[in-house]
Amino acid sequence: MKTSTLLAAALCGVAAVEGAVLWDGRFNDFTSSADLNKWSWANQVGPYPFTNKEYYIHGSGTVNRYINLSPDYKNPNDTVSKQGARFTLDSTAYWNGQTMRRIELIPQTKAAINRGKVFYHFSISRRDTNAPSVNKEHQICFFESHFTELKYGWISGEQGAANPALQWMTNQRTQWKLSEWKANVWHNFAYEIDFSGNRVGLWYSEGGADLKQVVAPVGGVSTSSNGQDWHLGVLELPRSGYPNTNEDYYFSGVFIEDGAITTKIGGPGEFFWV
């Protein structure tokens, strides 16, 4: 907890309460996405490394081509986050010579986000403008080994040409899905990951409703992570016959916690008035 927060609590005669947040990626300390460029090996500031290719994934353009921040981009029911992020796949969003379009951020932290039982929180939305394609596979908020992730759109090997469903998977198997990812609706998720027990569950809600467990922890999941391989963002696989168009994804309320899950949208603040 910041010194200024403690001082404010003391001066106002209130108690300060900390949440069990291990890593906070809610963009509250950013003036704009250009702040991502401040990170370097000599100046490891902020929750996300961006300037070193080992830890960020984006195209050849400047940061504002791919990530932009605004209060208009967050879940309006999230009173903890000051702003959200719009991630954009455009004609330059190819990383390191790959054929897949990608824009992803990875946590910068020494906290134990890959041990014990932890909860990976985020909210996601889309709009009709620059809507993600239903004709291509999109891998969203995934680990390097893809032991758990969201997927949207037509999935490689499926019948037909399109799939409007938003699905949650473990080990490439669908465990839960929405039949259609509708525009202008905020979907709130928490991956419940037991790294010791190799189990993963899912908590979910819509809009401003509290999170509820929709899938009890699934066993037999290879929950392998070095604490530097959770990808906040999206990877789009190419598909012959379907040209690329600009696509926007909106993220809000991103944080990782341990202990008991926080079901309130947005998660714990720096302190609460009690």
Query: Which CATH number covers residue 34?
Result: 2.60.120.1160
Q: Is residue 205 part of a domain?
A: yes
Q: Is residue 264 part of a domain?
A: no
Q: What is the chain's Cα-based Rg?
A: 18
pLDDT tier for residue 56 given thresholds of 50, 70 and 90: low
The distance from CA 255 to its chain's CA centroid, rounded to whole angstroms, is 8
Are the C-beta atoms of residues 266 and 80 closer than 8 Å to each other? yes
Question: Residue 95 carries which side chain, given as an amino acid letter?
Answer: W
Q: Which residue has the tokens 């999206």?
A: 234
Q: Is residue 29 part of a domain?
A: yes
Beta bridge partners of 136: none
pLDDT number for residue 163: 97
Question: Residue 126 carries which side chain, given as an amino acid letter?
Answer: R
3-state class (DSSP) for residue 62:
coil
Give the total number of structural domains in the chain: 1
Percentage above 70 pLDDT, the chain: 85
Q: Is residue 269 part of a domain?
A: no
DSSP state of 94: B
Q: Is residue 6 part of a domain?
A: no
Q: Is residue 170 part of a domain?
A: yes
pLDDT number for residue 5: 35
pTM: predicted TM-score of the whole model, two decimal places = 0.89
pLDDT tens profile 147-191: 999 999 999 889 999 999 999 999 999 999 999 999 999 999 999
Domain encompassing residue 74: 21-258
Residues of 144-155 as b/e, b for ≥16 C-beta within 10 angstroms?
Answer: eebbbbbbbbbb
pLDDT number for residue 157: 86
Position 270 pLDDT exceeds 70: no
| Secondary structure in 3-state letters for 171-208 | CCEEEEEECCCCCCCCEEEEEEEECCCCEEEEEEEECC
Q: Is residue 266 part of a domain?
A: no
pLDDT tier for residue 10 given thresholds of 50, 70 and 90: very low
CA distance 76 to 139: 25
Mean of the pLDDT values across residues 196-210?
97
CA-wise closest residue to 74 among 65, 63, 86: 86
Decide which of 53 and 182 is more confident.
Answer: 182
**Span of 19-28, 171-180, 206-215, 232-241 with lowest mean pLDDT:** 19-28
Q: Is residue 7 part of a domain?
A: no
